[in-house]
Amino acid sequence: MKKALVTGATGFIGSAVVHELLANGIEVIALGRNGCNNNIPGRVRFVPHELSESSRLPEQISDRDIDVFYHFAWAGSAGAGRADVNLQLDNVKWTADCLRAAKKMNCKRFVCAGSIMEDEAISASYQQDNRPGSNYIYGSGKLAAHTICASVAADIGIDLVWAKITNAYGVGELSPRFVNTTIRKIIHGEPLEFTSGTQNYDFVYIDDVARAFRLIGKNGKPFRHYLIGSSNAKPLREFVLEMKAALAPDREFRFGDVPFTGVSLSLEDYDCSLTEKDTGFKAEVAFSEGVRRTMKWLREVENDTKI
């Protein structure tokens, strides 16, 4: 791999992948919203990009020697947008538009960021008598994009590689997802209340995620889907207790005060052995170390904001 194009290059995962590719001597064309490229290195070619205009990419970018088209751009990936049906359906179409654009630009392969929530959406929606909450709409969008892109890619003749992320966290993320929210509560001395934590979970640090995408782009096999995780999935409670030991050993962590209304995947659903076998990826950053780095960074961000 000598040249890659990255959509969503200014986002949490996209920007980490850009830096990982650069560190390994790969030329990068970074796409993101106009004016939001402060975290993109100067030696990277930045192209302003709106998802709704994805079909025009072959006109905007003249390069025809791009090896891998990485697609991370996804509107409403966190917060209230996850439950916006129209927005998630738009994302599905825009992803297919990017796939077709990649083919027109002679890209050799299309690597798309999927989510473990695809599996959760299937489990929640196809379980008899279950009433899945609106938080599964995002996962359903990713699932629809996955299945539609597989058919489109086969039809137009481009290699599709789908990479499902378990739960990425780490330096650079500002969203209200679980690890960030918990660390902020620790920093601010807020009550730490959780579900019973019996549901299976996995977390993978952002540096490992970025390396996984580079290796999947380089070594992944066409029309396979790979899981990006720590290879150490376990009940959520165990992760929370690791966080307590690493960040707040003297604080009270209360389990069972918050009701759990979702679904719990089996530990087998978090199996990363195919990713390791095909691509050579294996996570390196332990959860305790990852949350320490994240907490240090969040403190610095909050201190800079106060100045």
Q: At what angle do helices 117-125 and 136-156 cross, to 10 degrees?
A: 110
Q: Which residue segments constitute the domains of the chain, with CATH numbers given?
A: 1-165 (3.40.50.720)
Please give the average per-residue pLDDT across 182-198, as a whole number. 96
Banded pLDDT at 263 (limits 50, 70, 90):
confident
Q: What is the pLDDT of residues 47-72, one digit of tens each?
A: 999 999 999 999 999 999 999 999 99
Q: What is the pLDDT of residues 98-122, one digit of tens each?
A: 999 999 999 999 999 999 999 999 9
Sign, CA dihedral 71-73-77-82, equals negative
d(CA 201, CA 238): 9
**Lookup: tokens for 255:** 């389990």
Please give the average per-residue pLDDT across 253-266, as a whole number. 90
Would you state the pLDDT for residue 307? 45
Look at residue 304 and tell me whether its pLDDT is greater than 50. yes
Would you state the pLDDT for residue 34? 83
Look at residue 188 and tell me whether its pLDDT is greater than 70. yes
Please give the model's pTM, rounded to 2 decimal places: 0.96
Q: Which range (31-40, 168-177, 220-229) has the least confidence?
A: 31-40
Q: Considering the chain, what percentage of its residues have pLDDT values greater than 90?
A: 89
Q: Tell me if 214 sits within 8 A of 21, measured CB to CB.
A: yes
Answer left, alpha or beta for residue 224, where phi above 0 means left and psi between -120 and 50 means alpha.
Answer: beta
Would you state the pLDDT for residue 306? 64
